[in-house]
C-alpha cells in the first residue's frame, strides 16, 4: 500500500467515525481509483452505503471485497448487517452469509456472535419456510446452542420441535408400518433412541416454552408456530402410545386422528380442508397418514398421501 492510499484511508476512517459518510465515500472513491482492489476501501465503502441507505451499491462493494478475500470476515459481517435490514429481499442470500459467518465464529471468544448469527439463521429458515441448503449440518446442535442462551426463542424452539418430529416420522416409518421393513435390528434400536429423546424433559420444556411464547403479544413468532406446537404435542402422544398394547392403544390412536383433524393452518381447520385450499404441512400430513395406518384406515391413508402429492 503506497503512502497516498494509506493517508486517504486513514482520513476516510476518521470521517466514518464522525458519521460523515458522504465525505468518507468521496475519499474512498479516490482510493479505489488508484487501487480498485483495495479490500479495506471496498468494505468501508459498503458500510457507508449501508448508513446512507444505498442498499444495492453497498451490497456490490461487499461482494467485490468477498471475491478478493473470501476468508476474511469483515466483508461478510458488513453484508450480514446490511442484509438484516432487508430480510424479505435477501433471505436466501442471508442464509449463505450466516453459514459462512458461523465458520468464523467457532472460537469461544465469538460465542455471543455465534448465538446471534445462529438465531437469525434459524429465524430465516422458519419465517420464510426455506429449503435447507447443502452444507447446513448439525441443526440440532445449533438449536441447542441458541436455546442455551435464549431458552424462549420461538424460532429455535419451533425448529427443534420440527426436527424431532421429522426424525420420528422418517426413522419410525418402517417401525410403525411393519418391523419386517427394517434392514437390521440396529435400526429398531436407533428408533428407540429417537423416541426416548422425543419423550425427554427437554422436549417437554421446549413445548411449554413455545406455548408460552405464543401467549406473549410482543413475541415475534412465525405463522406456523401454533401448528408446530400442536404437531409436537401430538407426536409426543404418539411416542407414548408405542409402549402400550394394541388393544389399549387403539383408543389413543383414534384420539390423535381426531386431534390432527382439527389442526388449523392459515385460518383453515382440518387436513381435508387444507388439501382443498392447496395448503400443505408435510409433517402433519405424514403423521396423519401414519396414525390412519395404525387404525387400519388404509383407504383414508392412501387418500391423504395421494392428494398431498398434488399440493
DSSP 120-139: HHHHHHHHTTPPPPTT---H
Select, from the ranges 33-37, 181-185, 270-274, the one with the highest average predicted confidence (pLDDT). Answer: 33-37
Query: How far apart, in whole angstroms, are the C-alpha atoms of residue 229 and residue 208?
Result: 9
- Which of 121, 149, 177 terminates a domain? The answer is 149
Q: How many residues does the chain have?
A: 311
Per the domain annotation, does 158 fall within a domain? Answer: no
Q: Given 3-state DSSP classes, what are the helix, strand and coil percentages for the chain, each rounded to the nearest 5?
A: 75, 0, 25
Q: Is 245 or 2 the better-scoring residue by pLDDT? A: 2
- pLDDT-derived band at 310 (thresholds 50, 70, 90) equals very low
How many of the other CB atoms lie within 10 Å of CB of 201? 7
DSSP letter (8 states) at residue 221: -
- Percentage of the chain beyond pLDDT 70 is 91
**Is residue 254 in a domain?**
yes
CA distance 139 to 282: 19
Domain boundary among 149, 183, 199: 149
For 157, the grid coordinates are: 424452539
pLDDT class of 188 with cuts at 50, 70, 90: low
Sign of CA dihedral 10, 14, 19, 25: negative
Range from 40-54, 110-124, 131-145, 276-290 carrying the lowest mean pLDDT: 276-290
Which domain-ending residue is among 88, 118, 149?
149
Does the pLDDT value for residue 191 go beyond 80?
A: yes
- Identify whether residues 195 and 237 lie together within a single domain: yes
- Range of 68's domain? 3-149
Tally of domains in the chain: 2
pLDDT at 23: 98
In the predicted structure, residue 311 carries a pLDDT above the cut 60: no
Would residue 155 count as lying in a domain? no
The average confidence (pLDDT) of the chain is 90
Q: What backbone phi and psi angles, to 5 degrees, belong to 305?
A: -70, -40
Give SS3 for 12: helix
One domain, residues 301 and 184? yes
The answer to whether residue 157 is domain-embedded is no
Residue 156 confidence class, pLDDT cut points 50, 70, 90: very high
The dihedral formed by the CA atoms of 226, 307, 296 and 188, expressed in degrees to the nearest 10? -70
Amino acid at each position: 500500500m503506497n503512502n497516498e492510499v494509506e493517508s486517504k484511508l486513514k482520513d476516510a476512517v476518521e470521517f466514518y467515525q464522525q458519521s460523515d459518510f458522504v465525505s468518507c465515500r468521496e475519499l474512498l472513491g479516490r482510493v479505489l481509483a488508484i487501487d480498485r482492489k483495495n479490500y479495506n476501501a471496498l468494505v468501508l465503502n459498503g458500510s457507508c452505503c449501508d448508513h446512507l441507505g444505498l442498499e444495492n451499491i453497498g451490497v456490490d462493494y461487499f461482494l467485490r471485497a468477498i471475491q478478493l478475500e473470501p476468508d476474511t470476515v469483515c466483508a461478510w459481517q458488513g453484508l450480514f448487517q446490511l442484509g438484516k435490514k432487508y430480510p424479505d429481499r435477501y433471505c436466501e442470500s442471508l442464509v449463505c452469509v450466516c453459514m459462512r459467518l458461523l465458520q468464523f465464529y467457532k472460537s469461544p471468544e465469538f460465542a455471543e456472535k455465534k448465538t446471534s448469527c445462529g438465531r437469525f439463521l434459524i429465524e430465516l429458515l422458519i419465517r420464510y419456510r426455506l429449503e435447507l441448503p447443502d452444507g447446513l449440518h448439525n441443526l440440532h446442535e445449533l438449536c441447542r446452542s441458541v436455546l442455551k442462551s435464549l431458552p424462549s426463542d420461538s424460532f429455535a424452539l419451533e425448529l427443534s420441535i420440527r426436527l424431532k418430529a421429522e426424525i420420528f416420522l422418517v426413522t419410525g416409518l418402517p417401525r410403525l408400518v411393519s418391523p419386517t421393513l427394517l434392514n437390521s435390528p440396529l435400526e429398531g434400536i436407533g428408533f428407540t433412541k429417537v423416541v426416548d429423546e422425543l419423550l425427554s424433559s427437554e422436549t417437554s420444556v421446549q413445548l411449554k416454552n413455545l406455548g408460552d411464547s405464543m401467549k406473549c403479544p410482543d413475541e415475534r413468532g412465525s405463522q406456523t408456530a401454533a401448528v408446530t406446537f400442536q404437531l409436537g404435542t401430538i407426536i409426543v402422544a404418539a411416542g407414548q402410545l408405542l409402549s402400550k398394547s394394541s388393544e389399549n392403544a387403539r383408543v389413543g390412536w383414534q384420539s390423535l386422528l381426531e386431534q390432527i383433524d382439527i389442526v388449523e393452518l392459515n385460518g383453515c381447520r382440518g387436513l381435508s380442508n387444507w388439501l382443498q385450499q392447496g395448503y400443505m404441512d408435510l409433517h402433519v400430513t405424514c403423521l396423519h397418514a401414519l396414525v390412519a395406518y395404525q387404525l387400519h384406515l388404509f383407504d383414508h391413508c392412501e387418500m391423504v398421501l395421494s392428494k398431498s402429492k398434488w399440493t
